[in-house]
Structure 1
Amino acid sequence: MMNISGLIITQNEEKNIQQVLECFDFCNEIIIVDSFSTDKTVEIAEKFPNVKIIQHKFEDFTKQRNLALDTAKNDWVLFLDGDERITPELRKEIIDELNKDQQKDAYYFYRKFFFAEKPINYSGTQTDKNFRLFRRSKARYIAGKKVHETLEVNGTIGEFRNKLLHYSVSDYESYKQKMIHYGVLKGQELAIKGKKYSILAQYAKTAFKFFKAYIMRLGIFDGKEGYQLSYLQSLSVFETYESLKKEQN
């Protein structure tokens, strides 16, 4: 199997860093781009072999990710978030794929979403997928996107059958703060692109986001958690326009 670089960007991930770094056990290099964590993230990470830690002030997610790509020495990279976990079945599938004579240039990972360790089946998570394994020489995150960073792939694309576990929500309040943060960054991104604030668009898109997640994407069948997820997704849209409004004042 060819060499792989495991990549991750962090900020105060002491609750996650041990487990996510263990998912890189088949990588011969681990690159961590840390935004000056004030907890034990770096201390825990330094205990792992083949780890290189880069301290870089956070500007946006895209810049952090591209810095990790530029630092890696291998062409193949496995890029995980702190709240993601590779199952034994997915690990085997990745290794088997990379042992083949021919590979794609980038692979989608479908993700299984958890809310405080409770599995979520709907609420828009059914089709959630992201690129996580790819060749650096064939892909790069598109500049200008401050949040919901997008990988541009100049090559062939595949996908894995086994899902990545995504423990995105440890508790309601922390996820609420994450959604607000995402909304603020998205508003700044829209302002840079010349988007004009509209109170009509703010309220219409906020309402539609909730309706889409809770009704159209069947969040109603996820119980209380489905309602909370749908609300917080719509809150992020509302905060996007609040951020855009502030940028234009």
Structure 2
Amino acid sequence: MEKLTAIIPVFNEQDTIERAIVSVLFADEILIVDSFSTDLTLSIAEKYDVKIIQRDYEYSASQKNWAIPQASNNWILILDADEVIGSSLREEIQSILNKKSTKTGYWIYRNNHFMNQAIKYSGWQNDKVVRLFQRDLCRYEDKRVHAEIITSGDLGFLNSKIDHFTYKSLRQYVEKLNRYAALQAIDYDKITDKITAYHLLLKPLWRFLKHFIIQKGYKDGVAGTVICFLQAYAVVMRYANLYLLRKKN
């Protein structure tokens, strides 16, 4: 069987880190990539057989690309602290490691939970990420938000899903959106012309309607409506941050 390193990037994740670690105890190595947490995250992690490495946080792709070469094993499984590998996904991953796979990595779909509810629509129904891949053949693209894996090989798909518990509190989620919007502004500066009402009004409106009507967010009730509104809010904040960035420069 091929050996596996699980990588978990963290910063102040005391509420979720133990659940994430326990779900990947089947890995041969667990690498905790910490951005100098100030809560009990590391104390909790140290109860388990993990290796902890630390680095100041720039953005997600940069952090992961720094950590990947430090893994001892060829196969990498990346898990965020608010995610969990269930038994069916664990067994599927182990079956991949048991055979000589011709794929350089695998897409894994996610079961997303928000406001204590499983979200089945709202644009999240097809959410997928490349999280299982070969260390020397894959890296994240250099984007500050929503970077994906770059590889010259073929990617496969797994049938089982990652459980993603993205919601701690509404305040925490909005803070996350604001943080992402500020980072996205840097990426969008290269591809966006002059900011107009199209960016600040029409694009957010389209984002809400897309998630709420086309992707059936209304079927997720109050939680779905909040998600759709926040997706539109994120678009406004992205371009507001871009406007401020250009003004500053």
* Superposition TM-score, scaled by structure 2 size: 0.95
Residue 26 of structure 2 corresponds to 26
Report matched runs for 1:69-218 at 5 Å. Answer: 69-143=68-142, 145-191=143-189, 193=190, 195-200=192-197, 201-218=199-216
Report matched runs for 1:7-26 at 5 Å. Answer: 7-26=7-26
- Code of the residue aligned with 1:141 in structure 2: it is Y
Residue 37 of structure 2 corresponds to 37
Contact 1:180 1:235 in 2 (8 A): no
Contact 2:3 2:97 in 1 (8 A): no
How many pairs align? Answer: 246
Tell me which stretches of 4 or more aligned residues in structure 1 moved more than 4 Å. none
Residue 5 of structure 1 corresponds to 5
Per-residue deviation, 1:240: 0.5
- Three-state SS of the structure 2 residue aligned to 1:248 is helix
Contact 1:122 1:217 in 2 (8 A): yes
- Three-state SS of the structure 2 residue aligned to 1:169 is coil
Distance (Å, rounded) in 2 between the aligned partners of 1:102 and 1:169: 35
Distance (Å, rounded) in 2 between the aligned partners of 1:172 and 1:227: 13
Distance (Å, rounded) in 2 between the aligned partners of 1:76 and 1:6: 9
Residue 54 of structure 1 corresponds to 53
- Three-state SS of the structure 2 residue aligned to 1:130 is strand
- Code of the residue aligned with 1:71 in structure 2: it is Q
Distance (Å, rounded) in 2 between the aligned partners of 1:236 and 1:53: 33
Distance (Å, rounded) in 1 between the aligned partners of 2:69 and 2:115: 34
* Superposition TM-score, scaled by structure 1 size: 0.95
String of CA shifts for 1:37-58, please: whole Å, max 9, x gaps: 1111111111211x22122111
Contact 1:97 1:103 in 2 (8 A): no
- Three-state SS of the structure 2 residue aligned to 1:137 is coil
Contact 1:35 1:57 in 2 (8 A): yes
Contact 1:33 1:55 in 2 (8 A): yes
Gaps of 5+ in 2: none
Contact 2:107 2:158 in 1 (8 A): yes
Distance (Å, rounded) in 2 between the aligned partners of 1:2 and 1:147: 31
- Three-state SS of the structure 1 residue aligned to 2:166 is strand
Contact 1:113 1:119 in 2 (8 A): yes
String of CA shifts for 1:11-57, please: whole Å, max 9, x gaps: 110011101011221111111211111111111111211x2212211
Gaps of 5+ in 1: none
- Code of the residue aligned with 2:7 in structure 1: it is L
Distance (Å, rounded) in 2 between the aligned partners of 1:246 and 1:213: 27
Residue 62 of structure 2 corresponds to 63
Distance (Å, rounded) in 2 between the aligned partners of 1:198 and 1:10: 34
Per-residue deviation, 1:233: 1.1
Distance (Å, rounded) in 1 between the aligned partners of 2:194 and 2:222: 32
